[in-house]
Amino acid sequence: MTAITIEMPVFESQALAENPLGDPAARRLPVVLPPGYARAKRRYPVIVGLTGFTGKGIMLLNEDAWQPNLVERLERLYAAGMPHAIFVLPDCFTRYGGSQYLNSAATGRYEDYVIDEIVPWVDAHYRTIAAPEGRGVFGKSSGGYGSMILGMRHPEVFGALACHSGDMAFDLCYGKDFPAFCNSVNKEGGVEAWWQQFAAQVKKKSSDYDALNILAMAACYSPDADAPLGIGLPVDLHTCERIPAVWARWLEWDPVELLDRYGENLRQLRLLYMDCGTRDEFSLHFGARQMAKRLSERGIAYEYEEFDDGHMSIQYRYDVSLPKLARALATS
């Protein structure tokens, strides 16, 4: 079998130009072409891979001592008979650690970046099946969330999705971190002071990541131009009580709460696949179970699997989802 080819174009985004954080608009866009692509005349489905919080698409290509990277995994899956596809790995990182693949006045237009820029650019530059039946999206954690949200909101773009341990049931997956967030921010004298000390760290402290995650989620779900850093916080920093108006804005982005609005879009998919570990440290298995229950109540087709593991180092689950995606999509 001929080799997989990786191309690394630098994509200049108009959607991310002049974003509020000053993050780069020009970013590498890894494109993983299947064996024999250069010689073939056929068109291929496209599968977009979304990374988790603090991730960039190129990190799916990193070498790991204990697990294969995406290319090594694809070599094995192709040899086992998985249909060939073009894989596209966007970089949607922000200074706060991630964008949740949404448009936000506090971070930038990352949904537009993926949907309105990257997808058409890939169709224009590669031999793709340029229709929803020829496109899928997958990811883990925040990438799983992005896959679910983009699949929900854009059935005209994606015809299949795979969500691994994606953020959902926000009260469970984020609520437990609110007290630590308040303690960290209060210790520094406020959210702006906390951010300044974090940004100044040459080596980031692992103890700050729970607070960073909540700050980043607030930047994505509840931007507020009148608040410090332009971010509306979901809790009162002194009492840790939920601020109802802000928390309601968060819930507007919770996949479990969005089925009434987008359920019919999900019904159009060729594949809606979810999985989660039964020991997920962020309680995301409960959110996935809620999602599965509500999908069943609406008669929306899906596949859901649980496995005996937690949240970290579960890339091996791509061995399950990627062949399902490739087989669900049109191949010519």
Digit-coded pLDDT (tens) for 3-32: 999 999 999 999 999 999 999 999 999 999
Examine the pLDDT at 271 and tell me if it is beyond 60: yes
Both structure tokens of 11: 């994509």
Is 117 within 8 Å of 140 (Cβ atoms)? no
DSSP strand pairing (26-28 vs 10-12): antiparallel
pLDDT of residue 332: 77
Q: Does the pLDDT of residue 131 top 80, yes or no?
A: yes
Whether 281 and 124 have beta carbons less than 8 Å apart is answered as no
What does the pLDDT read at residue 57? Answer: 97
Residue 74 banded pLDDT, cuts 50, 70, 90? very high
The interaxial angle of helices 209-221 and 191-200, nearest 10 deg, is: 120
Give the three-class secondary structure for 156.
coil
Question: Is the model's pLDDT at 185 over the cut of 60?
Answer: yes
Which pLDDT belongs to residue 322? 98
Q: What is 5-169+255-328's CATH topology?
A: Rossmann fold (3.40.50)
Q: How confident is the model at residue 1 (pLDDT cuts 50, 70, 90)?
A: low
- Say whether pLDDT at 234 is over 80: yes
Q: Is residue 267 scored above 80 in pLDDT?
A: yes
Q: Can you tell me the mean pLDDT for 244-271?
A: 97
What is the tens place of the pLDDT at every residue in 141-171? 999 999 999 999 999 999 999 999 999 999 9
User: Does residue 230 have a pLDDT over 90?
Assistant: yes
Report helix, strand and coil shares of the chain as percent, to nearest 5: 40, 15, 40
Task: Quote the pLDDT of residue 201.
Answer: 92
**pLDDT mean over 130-134:** 98
Cβ atoms within 10 Å, residue 263: 16
* Burial profile 58-93: b = 16 or more Cβ within 10 angstroms, e = fewer: bbbbeeeeeebebbebbeebbeeebbbbbbbbbbbb
Kind and range of the H or E run holding 250: helix 244-251
Mean pLDDT value across the chain: 97
Task: Tell me what percent of the residues of the chain surpass a pLDDT of 70.
Answer: 100
Domain with CATH 3.40.50.1820 in the chain: 5-169+255-328
**Of the candidate ranges 2-6, 93-97, 323-327, the one whose mean pLDDT is the lowest:** 2-6
User: What pLDDT was estimated at residue 207?
Assistant: 82
> Does the pLDDT of residue 139 top 80, yes or no?
yes
For residue 223, what pLDDT is reported? 98
CA 126 to chain centre: 23
